[in-house]
C-alpha cells in the first residue's frame, strides 16, 4: 500500500510518501517538507504564535494535496515535542483540524522514543543484541534501550537542539561562559535518569538517529548522504569533543558552510553537539552508529504490524 506519513516536528514539517507492505522495508517514493521551526514560534508564555499556527495549517493543507496527488491510500499524521509542550497545544491542533479537516495526534515523549527504537531495531536486526538508541530532535532528546523490539526503557528530555539554541545561546560565536553553563545543564539533565538505562546492562550496540546526529557525523568525517543509506556511518566521541570548541568559535555563515549543515539549522549544531557529547560520555560510548531509519519509519512499521494482526 502507499502511505503518507506526516511528521510535524519541532524544526520541519515533513510528508514522506512510502510504498509499504508486510515483509519488506518501507520504500520512500516522494518527500515534501517545509522548515516550520515551531520550536522557535513560541511566545514568552510557551504558546505557539498565530504565525506558527498559520504556517502549520498551510503546510498541512498542502501536504494533503501532495499525498492525494501521489496516490496515498492513508495518512499517518503525528506531532512531536514542539506541539506537545506548547501550552496551547489543544487549541493549535483544533484550529489546524478545522482549517484542513485533518486531526493530528500528538505523540508522547515515551512513544516517540519507543517507535524510534523499533525502527532502529528493525534496521539493525537481532544480531545487534542489547540496543541503545539516541535521537536529538528540535525540541527533545529521546533515549531508549532493550534487547527486544519493545524497549525496556524509553524516555524523553527537553534537550532538543532548537530548544537549547533558542533558550540558552545568542548569536554565534558563543562565549565561553554560555558554553560552560549549557554544558553543565545538559549533563545534569541526562545524568539524572541515566540509571534507567544502565541498570539493565551495557549495550551490545549503540545507535543514533535524526538530522542533528547525521549532520554531526558528516562534520566528523562520515560519508555524505548521497552515498546512500547502506554505507556504514559512525560518529566517534573524540571527534565530537574536538569539534565543539571549533563550532563555538564559528559565525553563523561559517557553521552553515560545514558539510551536512543547512543555513536554517546552523544555529542548532553546537547545542546538538553538546547533547551528543554528554550522552556518549555519561553512557561511556566511544562511538555511535548512525541509523538511517528513525521515528517516521517506526510509525510505518507499527502500522503495518497492526494491519497484519488485524487481518
- Which pLDDT band, with edges at 50, 70 and 90, does 310 fall under? very low
Which is higher by pLDDT, 258 or 46? 258
Domain 2-106 has CATH 3.40.50.720: no
Fold of 109-295: Nucleotidyltransferase; domain 5 (3.30.420)
What's the whole-number mean pLDDT along residues 234-258?
97
Return the SS3 of 151. coil
pLDDT value of residue 22: 79
Long-range own/partner contacts, residues 45-54 (CB < 8 A, 24 or more apart): 45/87, 46/85, 46/86, 46/87, 47/86, 47/87, 47/88, 48/82, 48/83, 48/86, 48/88, 48/89, 48/92, 52/92, 53/92, 53/95, 53/96
What's the whole-number mean pLDDT along residues 276-305?
96
pLDDT tens-digit map of 58-84:
999 999 999 999 999 999 999 999 899
pLDDT value of residue 171: 80
pLDDT tens-digit map of 104-127:
999 999 999 999 999 999 999 999
- The answer to whether residues 27 and 300 touch, using CB atoms and an 8 Å cutoff, is no
pLDDT tens-digit map of 119-161:
999 999 999 999 999 999 989 999 999 999 999 999 999 999 9
pLDDT value of residue 274: 98
For cell 499525498, name the residue.
67
* End-to-end CA gap in the chain: 15
pLDDT tens-digit map of 174-227:
999 999 999 999 999 999 999 999 999 999 999 999 999 999 999 999 999 999
Q: Is the pLDDT of residue 13 over 70?
A: yes
Residue intervals of the chain classified under CATH 3.30.420.150 are 109-295
Q: Is the pLDDT of residue 308 over 60?
A: no
What's the whole-number mean pLDDT along residues 231-239?
97
Q: Is the pLDDT of residue 14 over 60?
A: yes
Residue intervals of the chain classified under CATH 3.30.420.40 are 2-106
User: C-alpha distances in angstroms, 88 versus 25, 35, 53, 233, 263?
Assistant: 37, 21, 11, 39, 29
Q: Is the pLDDT of residue 311 over 50?
A: no
Amino acid at each position: 500500500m502507499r502511505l503518507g506519513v506526516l511528521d510535524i516536528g519541532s524544526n520541519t514539517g515533513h510528508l514522506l510518501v512510502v510504498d509499504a507492505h508486510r515483509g519488506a522495508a518501507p520504500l520512500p517514493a516522494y518527500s515534501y517538507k517545509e522548515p516550520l521551526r515551531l520550536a522557535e514560534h513560541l511566545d514568552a508564555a510557551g504558546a505557539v504564535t498565530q504565525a506558527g499556527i498559520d504556517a502549520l495549517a498551510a503546510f498541512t493543507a498542502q501536504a494533503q494535496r501532495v499525498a492525494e496527488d501521489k496516490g496515498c491510500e492513508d495518512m499517518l499524521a503525528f506531532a512531536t515535542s514542539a506541539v506537545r509542550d506548547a501550552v496551547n497545544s489543544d487549541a493549535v491542533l483544533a484550529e489546524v483540524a478545522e482549517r484542513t479537516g485533518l486531526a493530528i495526534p500528538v505523540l508522547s515523549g515515551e512513544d516517540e522514543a519507543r517507535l524510534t527504537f523499533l525502527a532502529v531495531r528493525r534496521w539493525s536486526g537481532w544480531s545487534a543484541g542489547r540496543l541503545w538508541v539516541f535521537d536529538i530532535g528540535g525540541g527533545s532528546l529521546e533515549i531508549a534501550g532493550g534487547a527486544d523490539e519493545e524497549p525496556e526503557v524509553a524516555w524523553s528530555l527537553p534537550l532538543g537542539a532548537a530548544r537549547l539554541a533558542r533558550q540558552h545561546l545568542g548569536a554565534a560565536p558563543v562565549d565561553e561562559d554560555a558554553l560552560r553553563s549549557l554544558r553543565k545543564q545538559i549533563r545534569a539533565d541526562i545524568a539524572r535518569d541515566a540509571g534507567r538505562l544502565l541498570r539493565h546492562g551495557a549495550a551490545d550496540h549503540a545507535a543514533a538517529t535524526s538530522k542533528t546526529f547525521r549532520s554531526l557525523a558528516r562534520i566528523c568525517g562520515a560519508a555524505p548522504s548521497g552515498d546512500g543509506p547502506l554505507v556504514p556511518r559512525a560518529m566517534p566521541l573524540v571527534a565530537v569533543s574536538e569539534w565543539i570548541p571549533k563550532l563555538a568559535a564559528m559565525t553563523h555563515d561559517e557553521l552553515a558552510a560545514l558539510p551536512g549543515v543547512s543555513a536554517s539549522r546552523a544555529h542548532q549544531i553546537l547545542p546538538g553537539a553538546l547533547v551528543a557529547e554528554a550522552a556518549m560520555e555519561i553512557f561511556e560510548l566511544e562511538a555511535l552508529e548512525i541509523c538511517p531509519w528513525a521515528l517516521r519509519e517506526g510509525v510505518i512499521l507499527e502500522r503495518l504490524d497492526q494491519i497484519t494482526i488485524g487481518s
